[in-house]
Structure 1
Amino acid sequence: MTTIKERMRPVFPFTAIVGQEEMKLALILNMIDPKIGGVMIMGDRGTGKSTTIRAIADLLPQIQIIQDDLFNSHPTDTELMSDSVQSSIENGENLPISLINVPMVDLPLGATEDRVCGTIDIEKALNEGVKTFEPGLLAKANRGILYVDEVNLLDDHLVDILLDSAASGWNTVEREGISVRHPARFVLVGSGNPEEGELRPQLLDRFGMHAEIRTVKDPALRVQIVEQRSQFDQDPDSCIQEYKEQQTTLKTNISQARDLLDNVNIDFSLRMKISQVCGQLDVDGLRGDIVTNRAAKAFAAYNRRTQVTSEDIRSVITLCLRHRLRKDPLETIDSGSKVVEVFSEVFA
C-alpha cells in the first residue's frame, strides 16, 4: 500500500538517468557493500546529483525492523539494534516485526548538533520529571542513506560527527546526566559544487569514494535529458511505468550481488598491486587500500563473478583514490589521470 507521502512525491527512476556513469556506479557499489564508506559527489550545479541520490534508495529491498522502533533496530542482528531492544529480547519478550522502505534522510545545512545526534526531551522532563531521549537524524538514518547536499558548506564540527558515526556505526549522546548509545549504520552520501569550496583533505579521506560529474556537452544528450525530465514532471506515473522492467532488473542485480559478496575472492597478487599503486601515489594511511579492495569485490559481485580481475580494479580504483592524493587544502582534486597512469604502470 502506498503512503500519502509516496503519492505526493514520486521518485524519478534511477535507470532513466542519462549519463553520469561514475556517480551511478559509486552509488550502486555502496548499496552492495555499505562498508565501502559512502560517496562524495562533486560537480556542476544542475547536473542531477540530488535526483540520482534520491532515486537509488528506491531500488533497495525493504528491510525488517522492530515495529515502531525509533532506531530501525534489526530483529536479530545485535550490532544493528538499540540497547532497549537488546534488553527486551534478553528478557524473552516477543517483539512484533514490520517491513519499511530503506530510510533516506536529508540533512539540512542549518541543522544543529542536537538535531543531528538527538537530545533530551525537555518538555517531558519539565512536565513529567522523566528524562527521555529524543532521537536525531542519525537514529532515523540507521540502516539507510544519509544525504548531505552542499556538504562542503556544512560546519566542520558536524561533518566530523557524521564521519565518526559512519565509521564506527554508533552514535553516543551524553546530555543532562543521560548517556544513550544507538546504532547509526548508514551510507553517507555528500554532494557539492567545488566552486563553493573544497572539503579539508582529512575529511575527504573519510569518504570511501569520490565521483566527479560534469555538465553534459553533447546537444543530443542534453535534449534527451530535458525531454525525459519534462515527461516525468507532466506524467510521473507513465514515466515510472516505462522504466519499471529496468528498475526491477537493477533491483534484482543489486540484491543478488549483496548475497554473492561474501563469496568473492581477490588474489594476493592483485592485493599487492593495489597496495603498490597506493604506495606510489603516496596515499596517506591504509584507507585507500581497504576501500579499493572492497569496491573491486562489490564490482565483481555486481557482474555475478566470484573472482576479482584486474579489469574490476581498473573500473573502481580512480573513484577510490583520486580524493586521497591532495596534501594541500588549496590544491584542487586530481581528475584521476595520476591514478590511471600509476595503475597502468603497476598492472602492466
Structure 2
Amino acid sequence: MTATDTIRARFQCAFPGFDLDVDLTLPATGITALFGHSGCGKTTLLRCMAGLQSASGTMTVFGESWQTDDIVRPVHQRPLALVFQETHLFPHLNVRKNLEFGYRRIPARERKIGFDHAVRWLGLESHLARMPAGLSGGERQRVAIARALLTSPKLLLMDEPLSALDLASKQDILPYLERLRDTLAIPIVYVSHSTAEVARLADHIVMMEAGRVVAQGPLRETLAGTDNPFRLEGDAGVLLEGHITDLDEPWHLALFSFDGGQLWLRRDDRINPGDSVRVQVLARDISLALVEHSDQSIQNLVPATIDRIDPDVDPGISLVRLLAGPTPFLSRLTTRAVDRLGLEPGRKVWMQIKSVALVN
C-alpha cells in the first residue's frame, strides 16, 4: 500500500490512569473495525482521527495531511463524516430536510454522492416526509448514516452505531451497512466490541487493549491466527468466504463451497445458488478424528492438515490451527485429547464440524 491509497494514523495522548499510543496503516477501502473490550481506547482513537480529541501525532488520508507535528486541522476542516450511537437528528425537520441540511452545504461540483443514491442505498424512499419522532431506532440510524454520506466525505467514522438498538433493529440495519461496504469507494472505520458485527461487516480489523494495538490485518487472516490476542474468547473461530452451490429443499439445507471444501448449513430464504456469502465456524464447534466417521450425526466432515498447536489460557486446553487446502480453521481441544491422538503439525485429520453460521 502506498501513501495515496492508505490512511496513516499515529497518535499519543494521556489521561489519568490511561494513555493511548497507536501507529496504524489502514486500507482506504472497505470497513476497518476497531475492536476490543470497553475502555480499550477505540472511541478515543476515533475521536483523535476526527480531530475531536487533542493528541500529538500525525494523520494522512490518501496522502493528504490532516495533522502533523506542526499543524492540526480542526474537525470542520477534515473531509470526514461521523455517525454516533445517538443519531442527533433535528427533531423539527422531516427526513428529507434532515438529509438536505448537509447536502446543500456541499458545492454541487464537490458532491460525490447523489441525494437519490443515498436515499435508495439506505432504503428511505418511503420515509422522506416522516418526522424523526415517528421513526424506529433503526430507521433513525439509517437517516443519520444517509445524512453523513451526503456530505461527500473522504472518510466515514462510525462509533458503535448499533449499540443502542434492539436485536430486531440491528438485524434490520445490517444489510444496509453491507450494501455500503460493497458499493461505496469511501473507507469506513467502525468501532465495535461485538464479534458478530465485526464478523459480518469488516474487511480489516484492528484489535486494541489498554490503549495499544495488539493485532491488526485482514479480518480472515487475523482471526485465524493462534497468536491472535482474542483467541481465548468463547467465540474464537474463523470466517470463510465462498458461494452457495446447491440447495437441498427437502432438508432445508444449503451447500456452501469454499477454497478447500464444502459445508452444509441451514437454508436461509435470503440465499440462492450462486450467491457469495460469508460464514463463521467457531473453534469450539470443531472436533478432530484420525479417520472419517460417517456413522454419526455430524454431517460436515472435512479433511485437513494440522498447521500448528498452541496452548490456550487454560493449561488443559490447546488451540489447533488446521488447513483445508489453503483455508485455515481453528479447533479448541483438551490437551489430553491432543496427546492421546498424537496430534502434531503435518498430521492428516478429519474435522467434524458441528455448526456453521451464516453471517450475511
TM-score bracket, normalised by the shorter chain, equals: 0.3 to 0.5
Which has the bigger relative contact order, CA under 8 A and spacing at least 6? 1
Bigger helix share: 1
The alignment's TM-score, normalised by the length of structure 1, stands at 0.34
Structure with bigger strand share is 2
Which is greater in Rg? 2
